[in-house]
Structure 1
Amino acid sequence: MAMRIFVSSVSEGLVEERQACKAIIRALGHNPVLFEDFTPQSEPSREACLRELADSDIYVLLLGPHYGHRFPDTGTSPTHEEWVSATASGMPRIVFRKTGATFEEEQQAFARTVSDYTSGVFRGSFEKTHELTELLARKVRELETTPSQLSYTPLAGPPAIDWLADFSERGSSSLANCSLEVHVSPIDATNYPSRVMSQIGSSLDHRLRSSGFVPGSVGFDVSADSESARVQLPQAPRASWDEPQAGQVLGIRLSKAKQLSAWASLPRDSMGSILDRSALPDQIANLLRLLGALNILEAGQYAIHAGINRNSSLTVGVFDPQRSRNTASLLSISDKPLRYVPDESASEAALTTGASEVADHLARMLLEQFQRAR
């Protein structure tokens, strides 16, 4: 089946290479996506590029000497913004760096950011255009025949886990309303040495900002000790009590035992928090991709836990960002948290290309538990 392959780069200094990528992608039977080929559209080119990227299957980044102009609101270039978006989506990323060229300081820093990703990214270098097309053709053919990397392994018993209630203070914003939590814990992992824990913990806020999953203007509350590092985000205030509010990321945490956690508010309106059968899998998948985009976890098998804290009204319904519901069904009458404990581990693809598959299962288990114990 033909794939859409998005080619991202600054045009200056890479015009020939971009056209060569376009030609080889077409020769392989796939559809190249380059901004210079977009037809005139009513929306700004920035939004059009990100929309086309979201509809693509593979992201190709060409790193040349120039960083490109910066958007005034983010301070990043279009190429940098596309990289962040592709990383957040979990799609396969192919990166090629041009050798023999002097990189601008900003581009050198961007290249270092890209090189920091140890998994989920294929990297190569080229000097001549024909070297680039040979490398790209080889990698695309590999992706054509590579099956899903998501795999499962039975667990001998329930793994130890710290839930949100275990490390959040009673009455904190993380627990004040109904919230969703996801935890990823490596199987048979040794604890971080104190030195490594300190290094990763001090970079947690930067990793979160670079992930593309939270607005750049949001302030963070960062805390760390010898056992864990945590970044918490404030919940956006509502203009009125009946204003619908989508779920939002509220925090991430890394423990010395290498457990990586993320939590978020559930969508809500004037009738309380909402368990939306369609939206819940997407929200879980986004949290899994967020944890993968932090670029902390290494290759291996992971136990993935998910839970919902019920500290206010919770009903099954459909979230409408434009208006609140008038009626609700399946009202929660218990404040006992919903918790899914896995009986099998999943490979690291659960945090990228396999996030949707894993999230569908987690959401189904939580919804069934809600219906049994509400």
Structure 2
Amino acid sequence: MKVFISSVTHLLSDERAALPPFLRLLHHEGLRFEDFEAQNRSSREACLAGVEEADVYVLLLGPKYGTPLPDTGRAPTAEEFTRARQRGIPILVFNKVVDEPDEPEQRAFKAEVGHYVNGRLWRSFMDPLTCNQAVGEALEQVSVSQGPLRKENPTGAISVPWISEVSADDGSGQTLANWSQRRGGGLVPSSVYAPVLELHVVPDGTVPYLGAADMARRAQSLAADVRTSNFVGNADPLDVNSSDDLAWAVRPPHSNRTFGNEVTVEEFRGALATRAGAAGAFRALDTDTMGALVDQASLQEALALLFGLASPHVVETENVAVAVGLVNADRVWEGDPRRMGGRNSGHMRTTLGAAVRVGGDFVVAKDRLSGGFGDLGADLAHTLLQRLRDLR
């Protein structure tokens, strides 16, 4: 496997130097930022290039945050971690035990990382030897779990919180105030004509009781996550609220509608969590006058991003179901998304409202799923494309 090693150099240079030769002994290839920086790339492009090539992401944490990149204000390790989440590859985190306090920025970053990996993939080390040992043991577990996910029948009914159906009334009498009128009372405003891709992770079985205070905290956690992952920009509006049954953090719709056949970006996206312990994320697809184009690769990438946003917010449970849907699927066609804006022929539909939904009828082990979403995401994308073909 190709293993990308992400860290600052402060107190971690010896570990960075020792890991690649150790990984070669285990028949893995260690990748680091310095392997890519001499390829006529910017610093950000170099660190992200390494993550793009990796099968596994290894994050070594110490007390220092690192120097923020000028274009994003986030340290390279934070950028790399976000990209690994977006790709859905296994993430392994290791914290060095040192007698030095964490910088405030690093405390916040560790909290972000710990929230995502949920404690199960977090280990400590003291020096290069114990670092090598911890990484080697973790990679061995990843190798063992690389086989196909075993799908089983749910123990009960799986209730998926589809965004066109959930109720999002915060009790004020104004459902998600300042939004346009909704179709059928769901989260999707009537002003959104773009197709909306959604992914949900739903626990199987009984979950702990969640009260109003729990739902309010979940809403704030969703908001922090969509911001820190750059899913919603820091300067963009974000509606954050909760009801008895639903918590949400949603970027209200705003499109850069243009004349002609140029690509339109509909900035409607967000994340939600339910009292029943489920969590989901969604985003509107880019369109031109003929609609949106998707293919296997673009769907897999989009689903991995949504999974990375949703999975940390699912309650602790043994098994989960994963379901994927498309709202306004009438405006989605199979094809290379790079062709949008330059098409001079094709089909255009003016009707709206068709929904395509896949998954949700089987469960998989949550601890296996959190380590890597690749195979299941590929299956879901493939099935979604098949359902789109059936619409035609």
* TM surpasses 0.5: yes
Equivalent AA in structure 2 for residue 243 of structure 1 = E
Larger mean CA deviation between 300-309 and 273-282 belongs to 273-282
Match of 1:66 in 2: 64
Equivalent residue number for residue 178 of structure 2 = none
Amino acid of the residue matched to residue 197 of structure 1? M
Aligned-partner residue type, residue 40 of structure 2: S
Equivalent residues of 1:176, 1:311 under 8 A apart = no
Letter in 1 for 2:3: I
1:180 maps to 197
**SS of the residue aligned with 1:82?**
helix
Greater mean deviation of Cα atoms: 155-164 or 52-61: 155-164
Q: Give the whole-Å Cα distance in 1 for the aligned partners of 2:219 and 2:281.
A: 15
Which residue of structure 1 aligns with residue 261 of structure 2? 242
**Cα contact 2:219–2:249 (8 A) shared by 1:** no
| Equivalent of residue 273 in structure 1, options 292, 300, 306 | 292
Structure 1 counterpart of 2:240, from 204, 222, 226: 222
Separation in 1, partners of 2:192, 2:269: 10
> Which aligned pairs between 1:160-179 and structure 2 lie closer than 5 A?
160-167=159-166, 169-170=182-183, 172=189, 175-179=192-196
For 1:132, the equivalent position in structure 2 comes to: 131
Structure 1 residue aligned with 2:171: none
Structure 2 unaligned residues grouped into runs of 5+: 168-181
How far apart are the structure 1 equivalents of 2:89 and 2:26?
19
The corresponding residue for 1:155 is: 154
In structure 2, do the counterparts of structure 1 residues 173 and 277 end up closer, same or farther at CA, with 3 Å as the change threshold? farther
Name the structure 1 match of 2:174: none
- Structure 2 distance, partners of 1:306, 1:366, is 8
Establish whether residue 287 from structure 1 lines up as the match of residue 306 from structure 2: yes
Query: Sequence identity of aligned pairs in percent?
Result: 29
* TM-superposed deviation, 1:50: 0.6
Partner of 1:16: 14
Equivalent position to 1:304, from 314, 322, 327: 322
Q: Deviations over 1:220-259 (max 9, x none)?
A: 1222222211122234414444212468761221111222
Structure-1-length-normalised TM-score: 0.85
Equivalence for 1:198: 216
Mapped partners of 1:84, 1:159: distance in 2:
30
Q: Is the 8 A contact 1:340 1:365 kept in 2?
A: yes
Unaligned runs of 5+ in 1: none
Corresponding letter in the other structure for 1:108: R
Q: Secondary structure at the match of 1:144?
A: helix
Q: Which amino acid aligns with 2:144?
A: T
When residues 372 and 108 of structure 1 are mapped into structure 2, their CA distance, relative to the original with a 3 A threshold, is closer
Conserved 8 A contact 1:270-1:325: no
SS at match of 1:358: helix
- Give the secondary-structure state (helix, strand or coil) at the position aligned to 1:219: coil
Deviation per CA, 1:85-130: give whole Å up to 9, x if none.
Answer: 2233222222222223213333233233323345485222222332
Partner of 2:360: 342
Q: Which residue does the alignment assign to 2:177?
A: none
- Aligned residue identity for 2:112: T
* 8 A contact 2:255–2:265 mirrored in 1: no
Compute the TM-score of the two structures, normalised by the length of structure 2: 0.82
Do 2:333 and 2:388's aligned partners in 1 also have CA atoms closer than 8 Å?
A: no
Residue 218 of structure 1: how far off its partner (Å): 3.1
C-alpha spacing 1:36/1:80, structure 2 compared with 1 (3 Å): same
The equivalent of 2:172 in structure 1 is: none
Matches of 1:211 and 1:5, distance apart in 2: 22
Match of 1:116 in 2: 115
Counterparts in 2 of 1:178 and 1:126: CA distance versus 1, 3 Å: closer
Say which SS state the counterpart of residue 338 (structure 1) adopts. strand
RMSD: 3.1
Residues of 2 paired with 1:202 and 1:196: CA distance?
10
Residue pair 2:65, 2:105 contacting (<8 A) in 1 also: yes
Compare 244-253 and 36-45 and name the one that shifted more: 244-253
Of stretches 236-245 and 180-189 in structure 1, the one that deviates more from structure 2 is 236-245
Counterpart position of 1:82: 80
Q: Which has the larger displacement, 174-183 or 58-67?
A: 174-183
Tell me how many residue pairs correspond in the alignment.
371
Contact 1:89–1:352 (CA under 8 A) maintained in structure 2: no
> How far apart, in 2, do the equivalents of 1:78 and 1:87 lie?
14
C-alpha contact (below 8 Å) 1:148/1:354 kept by paired residues? no
Q: Give the aligned partner of residue 320 of structure 1.
A: 338
- For the residue of structure 2 that corresponds to 1:188, the secondary structure is coil
SS at match of 1:151: coil
What are the residue-to-residue correspondences of 1:90-109 with 2, within 5 Å?
A: 90-103=88-101, 104-109=103-108
The answer to which of 28-37 and 110-119 deviates more is 110-119
